[in-house]
Structure 1
Amino acid sequence: MDIRHFRYFVAVAEALSFARAARALHMSQPPLSKRIADLEQELGVRLFNRTSKRVELTTAGEVLLPQAREAVRAFDAALRVARSLSPTQSRRLRIALPPETSRSVLLEIVSRLQEQVEVQLVEATTAEQQRLLAAGETDIAVLRHPFEKRGLRVSAPLGQPLGIVVAAEHPLTKLDKLHLSDLTPYALVLFQRHLAPGLYNELLDLCRAGGYVPRRILHCARMTQALLSTESAVTLVPERLLRRRGEAGSKEFIWRPLEGSPIHWWTSVVCRSDECVGLTRVAVDVIFASLQQHEGWVPMPRPVSARVGETEFTPD
C-alpha cells in the first residue's frame, strides 16, 4: 500500500463512479478497480458496494474517506516543503508544452528565464500534462481547453480559429467560400481521443453544430498527409501549423478558412493554485506573452457555458 492507493480511493469516493474517477485520474478503469481491490484486501474491509447501476461507500469507506483525504493532503504538503528546501529544486522550473509548440516559443521561454532559474521543458499532450501536474512532476503546463480546472490557476484563454487542410486536388478547393456543412461527404483526420478527451469531444460537437457529421473519423498522429491524399479526407488545424511544416509553400496541401470561424482552439497557461507565486508566476507571464507573439494566439473569451468553475487570472 502507498499514497497512490489513497488517491485512487478518494477519487472513486468523490465521483461514486469508477469510470468517472478513471477519467479524472487519466487512467483506464481496470487498473483502477484492481488498485481499489488491493487496498480493500490490505485493509481487510470492503470500501464500496458495487452494483451494475451504482457505487456506494460502505460504513468503513465513509469512516476512511476524511482520513484518506487528510493523508493525501499531508503527503503533498510535506513533499512541497521538502522540495522547497532543496537548492536545486528551488531554482528549477519544469514546464510542459504541447507537441506542436513552435521553436520560437521554446527559445523565448529559455532565453527569458535561464538567468533566473533552470528551465526543464517537457513535451506532453493535454492529458499527459494534467497527469504530470496532479502528480507534482511539472510546475507549469499549457493546456488545450476544455480540461479539469480543480486545484489549478488558469490564465485567461487564448484562441485561434481552425481552418481545413486538404490535398491540392481536393474538390473543396474549387469552392469560393467554405462552410462546415460543405465537409459532410468527407472523412475527418483527427488525433486520438485519449490525448485530449475534452478537446476531442468539443471539436466534434462544434462540427455537428455547424452541420458536419464526419462519415468516418481517421485517427492518426504521423500519417495525416498520407490520409489526406489517399482518403480525400480533411483535417482541422490553425493556419500556422501548415505554414510551420513548410507545406503551405508546396503545391501538395492547401489550408482554407471556414466561413464565420465556427471552430477554435483555446489554450491557457496553468499552474497549481497554491504555487503560482514568485518565479512560477513570472514564467507563466513569459509563456503567455510568447504564445501571442510567436504563434498568433489572441486573448479570446470562451463561451460562458464552457467556463463554469474556472478560476482565471490575467498574467501581468
Structure 2
Amino acid sequence: MEIRHLRYFVAVAEDLHFGRAAARLHMSQPPLTKRIMDVERELGVRLFDRTNRRVTLTPEGLELLPKAQAALAAFDEASACLRGSARARARRVRVGFPPDTSTDFVATATEQLRKLGIHAELSEATTAEQRDRLLAGQLDVGVLRWPYESRGLSSTAPLSQPVGVLMATENPLASHSEIELADLAGHTLIYFPRSMAPGLYDETLANCRAHGFSPTNIEHGIRMVYSLLSVMPNAIALSVEHGFTSRWASGPHSKTTWVPIKGTPLKWRTSAVWRTANRDPLTQTAAQVVAQALCSDGWLPEKAEAGCG
C-alpha cells in the first residue's frame, strides 16, 4: 500500500460519494473504484458498504479513517517541511573571503544579499584555498587576489587598491605624507605567508625589489601584525588602507600609522570569482553583489569603463 491509496480511501470516506471524491482527486470514478477495491483486497476487509443509493463506512472503515487522516497529515507536514528546506537551500550561496577582509565589506555583502532573499554562508579562506574549493564545487563565490591560476574560473572585472606601509608611529618615516619603497631599506617586512596567495606574494616582492626595497628579513603573519609592529619598531607591514590591519591598528589610540607609497608602485587587485561551469543565475547575482560590496569598501575599478555601478 502506498500513501496515495490512503489518500483515495480518505477522500471517499469523507465524501461518502465516489463521484465527488474522484473530482476532488482530479481523476475519473472507475479508476478510483478499482483502487479502493485493491486496498480492500490487500487489507482483507471491506471498508465501504455500497448500494445504488449510498456509500457508508463499515466498522473496519470507521476504525481506519482517523488513523489514515493522521498518517496523511503527518506525511503532508513532513513534505512541506522538506520543500521549505529545499527552497532555503536553493537560495543559499557559499561565499569565501580572505583573512584580511574588512568587517565593513562582510557586513555590506551579507546585508545586500539578504535583501535579495539570498542567505550567505560565509567562510574565511586564503586565495589558494578558495580557488581549490571553487573548482571542487565546495564554494560558490570567492574573493580572490590577483594574480591566480584562472583556468576553470570566471570573475568580475578586477578592482584594486594601492598598497601602503603600516609602521610604528615612533618610526621616523611615520611622519611623512608619503614615502618611497627605497626608503624602507633595512626594515623587517611583515607580510602574509606565500601559501595564502603565491601569485600576489611573488608579484609584491618583485615590485619591491624593482623599486629599491629588497627585504633581507621577512616575518610572516596576518592577525598578529599589530602585535609584531608594537614590539619591532624597525618593522613595517604592507597593507591596503582599507585592510583589516589598518582598521585594527590605526586610530586615535593606536601606536601605528599607515603611509602611502609615492607613485603607487604596489597594488592589490581582487575580483569576485566563481566556477565557470556553475551557470546558476543565483551565483551570478551573488558575485555581482560581492563586487559591489568591494567597491563600497575602497576597491576601485582598474579601468573607468569597468565601473562599480
What TM-score range do you get, normalising by the shorter chain?
0.5 to 0.7
Tell me the equivalent position of 1:229.
230
- Look up the match of 1:260: 263
TM-score normalised by structure 2 residue count: 0.65
Q: Does 1:103 align with 2:103?
A: yes
Larger Rg: 2
Query: Matches of 1:164 and 1:94 in 2, distance apart?
Result: 33
So what's the TM-score if we normalise by structure 1?
0.64
Give me the whole-angstrom Cα distance separating, in 1, the residues matched to 2:214 and 2:236.
12
226-235 or 152-161, which moves further after superposition?
226-235
- Letter aligned with residue 138 of structure 1: L
1:166/1:233 contact within 8 Å kept = yes
User: What is the alpha-carbon distance in structure 2 between the residues aligned to residue 207 and residue 261 of structure 1?
Assistant: 11
- Counterpart CA distance in 1 for 2:163 and 2:123 is 25
Shift of 1:276: 4.1
For 1:265-280, list aligned pairs within 5 A. Answer: 265-280=268-283
- The 2-side partners of 1:108 and 1:89 are apart by 22
2:253 to 235, 250, 270: 250
CA distance in 1, matches of 2:179, 2:118: 47
- The aligned residue for residue 16 of structure 1 is none
- Aligned counterpart, 2:240: 238
Residue in structure 2 matched with residue 168 of structure 1 by the alignment: 169
Q: CA distance change for structure 1 residues 227 and 104 in 2, over 3 Å: closer, same or farther? A: closer
Q: Corresponding residue for 1:200? A: 201
Deviation, structure 1 residue 221: 2.7
Q: Is the 8 A contact 1:153 1:276 kept in 2?
A: no
Q: Distance in 2 between matches of 1:89 and 1:284?
A: 17
Alignment check: 8 A CA contact 1:248 1:255 kept:
no
Residue 247 of structure 1 and its aligned partner are, at CA, apart by 2.3
- Report if the CA contact (8 A) 2:160-2:269 is conserved: yes
Q: Answer whether contact 2:161 2:268 (CA < 8 A) is retained.
A: yes
1:163 partner SS: strand
Shift of 1:246: 5.3
Structure 2 CA distance, aligned partners of 1:281 and 1:314?
Answer: 17
Rounded to whole Å, the distance in 1 between the matches of 2:308 and 2:165 is: 31
Q: Which blocks of at least 5 consecutive residues in structure 2 are unaligned? A: 1-85
1:158 equivalent in structure 2: 159
* TM-fit CA distance, 1:185: 1.3
Q: Secondary structure at the match of 2:277?
A: helix
Aligned residues: 219
Q: Which runs of 5+ in 1 are unaligned?
A: 1-85, 302-312
1:283 partnered with 2:286: yes
**Map of 1:122 onto structure 2:** 123
Which residue identity lines up with residue 103 of structure 1 in the other structure? T
1:111 partner amino acid: E
CA contact (8 A) 1:155 1:315 kept: no
One-letter amino acid of the structure 1 residue matched with residue 250 of structure 2: E
Amino acid aligned to 2:284: R
Letter in 1 for 2:278: E
1:233 maps to a residue whose letter is A
* Shift, 1:224, TM fit: 1.7
Q: Cα distance, 1:138 vs. partner? A: 0.6
What is the rounded CA distance, in whole Å, between the counterparts of 2:262 and 2:160 in structure 1? 17
2:179 touches 2:261 (CA, 8 Å); kept in 1?
A: yes
Instruction: Give the corresponding residue for 1:214.
Output: 215
